[in-house]
Amino acid sequence: MDSTHGLYQSPLSQRYGSLEMRQNFSDIKKFTTWRLLWVNLAKAQQGLGINISDEQISEMEDNMDKIDFEFVKEDEKRTRHDVMAHVHEFASKCVKAAPIIHLGATSCFVGDNTDLIQIKDGFNILLPRLARCIDRFTKFAKKYHDMPTLGYTHFQPAQLVTVGKRACLWINDLLMDLKNFERVRNDLRFRGCKGTTGTQASFLQLFNNDEEKVKKLDELVTRYSGFDQSQIVTGQTYSRKVDVEVLGALAGLGSTIHKICSDLRLLAHMKEIEEPFEETQIGSSAMPYKRNPMRSERCCSLARHLMGVMASALNTHSVQWMERTLDDSAIRRILIPEAFITADEVLITLQNVSEGFIVYPAVIERNINQELPFMATENIILAMVKKGANRQECHEMIRQLSHEAALQVKQYGKNNDLLNRIENHRYFEPIKAELKDLIDPRSFVGRAPRQVIEFIRSEVEPAIHPYRNVMSIKASVTK
């Protein structure tokens, strides 16, 4: 039996997420970054006067991606320490550099700093995807900015909106996520070189109590590793409150996508809007006519998982006693990579959905016509009053006709014929000529069409402008 099928494998790593995101959280990326950090540390220490030769640094650089994972596995069994197992493996290949590898550092120097690099790179993968989703929904909103559709409150028919206006509700939430992602990414600070409890005592000893050199070391390693700033205060780890911010942003995206895709599933049920459905796609093994919104359902399913990571992040931060406890380690190995891979998958899928919307205007109009007569009654009353009618008499007349029409709909399954009843009733003869204009759906949508254009111009387009060079990339799903 193929070993890959004989053991449990995470569906996230097998089925979901892009190759790019999975590589970002791969063992290769993680452990070559550890080695990069050891090189950066050695370079900075050398530049500040520590006796480290160019030959030692070159030896480390030449062996950065030559990792004997079997050696590491066996050494970790013996030492019960993953970082030291990698130190030993790296040192076995870098014989000359062995004495200075990990000099003055603690395990969190490689562990936490690598996490921050992967988190930053993860946001850099997600942000263009999120911007493209916003762009596709924006195009959709523009196209249908003035198409009337039934609005719903409590999932009961309410005043009319437009198809584009409803899409702007989705865009607004995605825009909040975009700004939140950017904020969290830009706020990330490197842990840097802080030592075992964050005091930098080991580095102070290494540099003979020269505080300026210790500060400079932190600055150099931070810059070499792609960050502008490091955290001034840490414990043994960077504060797990940072993870709360990171995973909170991802969980927030989860709630947005769950809301959007729930709306799309309801619209698909009403046959007003559908997600893409390929010619050879099968909706059900038993019911060949089915056109299930499976992409939206997948998004909701994964988004539910994504929303759940927030509780673990909060719990982990809250129990970090004093300078640190190790009960953050195992959960973070799972939590951070899987949250990013999940976010990656739902954004890819949502972009694919938004690139293939199918709109059914005739169904939308039919659904409007079932409810509009009731919504138009206030306009009809006002028009009659302008012609000299008594408001209360008119109200009572329409109430009676409305109940008769409702009976036809609810008891006999017929169409709503209230307008025909009004048009054919002699009481409403004074407004018969203008009745058609009084029930024009476009007169019930308020400022919705203009709101769409104003929102897109003032808020959406400036927000996604920085991503204009990656907007042409399409999204495809294979499962």
Residue 154 appears among annotated catalytic residues: yes
What CATH code is assigned to 15-100? 1.10.275.10
The active-site residue out of 10, 92, 284, 301 is 284
Question: How high is the pLDDT of residue 49?
Answer: 94
Which segment of 43-47, 50-54, 416-420 scores lowest on mean pLDDT?
A: 416-420
Model-level pTM greater than 0.75?
yes
Determine the 3-state secondary structure of 359 from DSSP. strand
Region 298-321: mean pLDDT is: 93
- Binned at pLDDT 50, 70 and 90, residue 463 comes out as very high
What CATH code is assigned to 377-438? 1.10.40
**Domain boundaries along the sequence of the chain:** 15-100, 107-359+458-470, 377-438
Choices 1.10.3720.10, 1.20.1250.20, 1.20.200.10, 1.10.10.10: CATH for 107-359+458-470: 1.20.200.10
Phi, psi of 292 (to 5 degrees): -70, 140
Q: How far apart are CA 167 and CA 142, in angstroms?
A: 9
The percentage of residues in the chain with a pLDDT greater than 70, rounded to a whole number, is: 96
* Whether pLDDT at 235 is above 50: yes
- Which two three-digit tokens encode residue 279? 């010619």
| Closest among 295, 299, 272, 291 to 163, alpha carbons compared | 272
Q: How far apart are CA 476 and CA 479, in angstroms?
A: 9
Please count the other Cβ atoms lying within 10 Å of the Cβ belonging to residue 285: 7
DSSP state letter for 230: B
DSSP E strands, 167-297: 273-274
Task: Please provide the average confidence, as pLDDT, over all residues in the chain.
Answer: 91
Evaluate whether 15-100 and 377-438 have a shared fold. no
The active-site residue out of 3, 5, 154, 285 is 154
107-143 and 27-47 helices cross at what angle (nearest 10)?
120
Question: How high is the pLDDT of residue 280?
Answer: 44
* Whether pLDDT at 208 is above 60: yes
Give tens-digit pLDDT for 48-103: 999 999 999 999 999 999 999 999 999 999 999 999 999 999 999 999 999 999 99
Residue 10 appears among annotated catalytic residues: no
